[in-house]
Chain A
Amino acid sequence: MLNRRQYFFALAACLWGIVLSSSISSQTCTHLNDLAFYSKGGYTVREVRLESPIDFLHAISSQLNALKPQLSVQPGDVFKLDAFTDGKDLINKALDDAEKNQDPRSRIRVVLAKIANCGESAPPFQLDVVYRVFTTNYNAYLTHTWEFKSNELERPATTAATSQANGFVTLQPFVNYNHTRGLYSGVMVRLKLPGIFDNVEISGSGSTNSNVQDFQLSGTRTPRKTVWQRVDYRIAYTHSDVPAGSNRLREGTMLAQAFGATRPLGSKGVILRSGFSFEGGNQQTDIVNAAATRSLVDSGYGGLKTYLGATLRTKSYSLAGSYGLQLGTDGTTGHVDFIKNLVDVGFNGRWVPQHEKAGDVHKVLALETQFTAGFINVRTAVPVVQRFFGGNVSHEFIEGDTWLIRSQPFIRSIPENRLSALDVGGTKFFSANVTVAKAFWGRAIIPKEIATDPDFFPALEASKVSARNILVGVYLSKINVFGDILTHLDPVEADLTKLRTMLDSLPAEFPASLPEDQREALDDSRGLVSDATKIIQAMFQDRKTLPSKLKSLLKEQNSATCMDDDSCSQLTTLRFNLADFQTQLAGAGFTEAAAVGKAVKESLDRQQPALVRELDAIDITEAERLADADMKLVNATLDSFTKELNWFAVSPVAAFDAARVWPDKRGVRYGIGSGVRLSLVNFNVTVGYSFNPRRNPGEGRGAMFVTMDVTDVFR
């Protein structure tokens, strides 16, 4: 079992591993502007290295080591540029294959291939080939919402000994620490299911003074054509036995829950969320004087929890607010024994300095604030576990929901469940928390070799434009505005059928009586007309995707000159080729075929201008809107990766908390602390110490806090 000191040592070891992984070559390569210099046969490969900033993790290093023998460049080989480039593609393909079962929500992967350590001064001329792999897919943390599943936060991959996802089974051991529970560890098993529920999950954790077990069946649906973007539902049982000062809180609860989030609404893209949870179970404590506070020491419990929330997200900040309502009973009647009200508001901002040196760590300033308040209206009695205790562990109003609403006062200078002076807790509270962090050291997620490449950012911008226009093309096939023009293309399709029949009627070999050059010209023209006809007919066969190809079929900039620069539309190309072919057919004595060709050409000549006018008049703004909505996500994510995210970063942290529970004569309690945050991509571990400036008898000077959270990169 690790103690606290060892825990810090493990974190430090992780950081050191990152630093060590950035190898530095000892000899300079003087011809990096002209890699062909090394590929003319004079250089052999001394070593092939496959590196990753997180390859100190066993799962990563073993994956990379397995790839090495498959690379197209090996030690002892003569250095060849194509093999060097192919290695990068092979790594990408292998990582794609490895990822197939993981179903990640997002990831960015950078594979870098470079040469290093060139021995140029004397034979044997050698160099090292280095492939560096950067991937965010160490686990699926890059989710789309401002809030994250608490169970994922509590069981991050970076604290897990191993994490194995093999198709439908996930096994994840985890280790964590808080002052009240001490160091605790456990395991989570998740199994994918067919049918109504998508997953079954069982987890358990324990320490020397606590134990927690969970079982849940969960599912997600995405209703189409409604304001709801996503609906989650869950049936769960949870049991916990955790200390609370000199007391213990034990509870077992059965839950049936449903949660929903709307699509982004309005010009600001506000997302509304709502949900409910029916709960029933029992709770026990060791308290002896609870009756005076109308609290139930050992009782059943039942109730309904419901909430309404909203999220607003911009490039620099996220704003979220929630109201939660709980109607509770002691479990024996339908009578409401207590009513709990909660308000939770959060503001998170991230600002990146405008002028940063390319490739350097992004010195992001992060501001995180949260205000929470709660009030219990005790009508008859309230179970002790439902009262407010407070401390340096965040508790959620509805466990298991992706939407996190704090249900207890949070103050980092006081251990979990010890803010309240009374063993039975309070009935009213507020807490306000401010955290400021600024990265000062680390490494940007886009490696310096790429960020300083003068072609990279222009190519990235060009690629974004291409991707957007491709999406517009895809959505053209999905919006319902092409019905008329598709109908008006029917005569064109009929003309092509006639042309096909004519082509099929021609002899396989033109008569030997014709001069050879005439036969060759006929063969060439027939090939061009036949191919053009097949290409257009193939377009017509797939009517669903035809709208995205209509421009290519019908339009060119200048039909008088387009044959000179290959820019004619397919229909124009066919008409030009058909004009030549029907003339040649007439000259060769195929008068009937020539007449068909002429008639088809003239028919197409007549139809095409009208079709182009009709195409130009179609309003495609809906397709553009849909494409822009998709690209907003892509662009925001790319911007985060290129301008904001670091592979790792270290930030000093300042923390301030104020909180109070009523009844408590000690008034408002404060926490003033500092610490350090280690960020791996968007996963943050913050370790610090918060001082308690208004200590009471029996209280320590403060408390250590360890928080784990995830930065949303999808603003």
Chain B
Amino acid sequence: MPNPGTAFSVDLLIVTPDQLRKITFKLSKGFNTDGSVNWNLEFGLQERSKTTDPFHDVVQLKVNLQPALHAKANATAKKGLDDTQTSAAIAAADSAKLFSQGDISKASANNAAKRVIAVRGT
């Protein structure tokens, strides 16, 4: 029987065969205090130039896949980020950094994050 009362995370780590890139991929399901469900995807890419070097971050993204106040959020949760959303997500990381440095307002950073859903094509 399906068990919706379970929170979980599935966390995959893979080093590519040349041992120069490490991909982390984590899908997790949790609960908000009101009992609603939230889904998150964390995706990371690390690189190094030699197999004996430590890895360094190339990209670390966390995407909330929480369904669905409108159709685009639902479509994102069900089908994943499309290419336009991906570009928006990478750019939103810049905005988040600017906000953390006090360079832009929280509203502007939030708008950049909202765009990740809003720019979905279909």
Contacts and interface: CB of A to CB of B under 8 A. Distances in A.
Most central of A81, A447, A462, A472 by chain B CB within 10 Å: A462
B100 interface: no
A438 interface: no
Contacts of A222: 18-20, 50-51
B98 A458 contact: no
Given A229-B18, A465-B80, A106 B91 contact: no
A429 B69 CA distance: 71
Contacts of A633: 14, 16-17, 23
Contact of A88 (B18, B28, B80, B104): B28
- Interface residue tally on B, bucketed by range: 35 or more
A552 B1 contact: no
- Interface residue tally on A, bucketed by range: 35 or more
Given A462-B76, A552-B88, A634 B7 contact: no
B80 A461 contact: yes
Contacts of B121: 557
Contacts of B91: 535, 539, 549, 552-553, 570
Given A531-B108, A567-B118, A470 B78 contact: no
Contacts of A464: 80
Contact of B5 (A29, A229, A463, A539): A29
Nearest to B24: A96
Interface stretch (A9-17, A109-117, A666-674): A109-117
Contacts of A458: 78
Q: B-side binding surface: helix, strand, loop or mixed?
A: mixed
Q: A-side binding surface: helix, strand, loop or mixed?
A: helix
Given A104-B13, A462-B80, A566-B111, A35 B35 contact: yes
Given A105-B15, A110-B10, A466 B90 contact: no
Interface string A72-115: 00000000111011001100100000000000111111111111
A459 B86 contact: no
Interface in B10-61: 10-21, 23, 25-35, 37, 39, 41, 43, 45, 50-52, 58-59, 61
18 contacts: A39-B33, A89-B9, A144-B17, A222-B20, A449-B8, A462-B65, A463-B25, A463-B27, A465-B79, A465-B80, A466-B63, A470-B61, A474-B45, A532-B108, A534-B98, A535-B112, A552-B115, A633-B17
Interface of A: 29, 31-37, 39, 80-82, 84-85, 88-89, 92, 104-115, 144-145, 194, 198, 220-222, 229-230, 263, 446-447, 449-450, 452-456, 458-474, 527-528, 530-532, 534-535, 538-539, 542, 545, 548-553, 555-557, 565-567, 570, 630, 633-634, 637-638, 641, 714
Interface of B: 1-21, 23, 25-35, 37, 39, 41, 43, 45, 50-52, 58-59, 61, 63, 65, 76-91, 94-95, 97-98, 103-105, 108, 111-112, 114-115, 118-119, 121
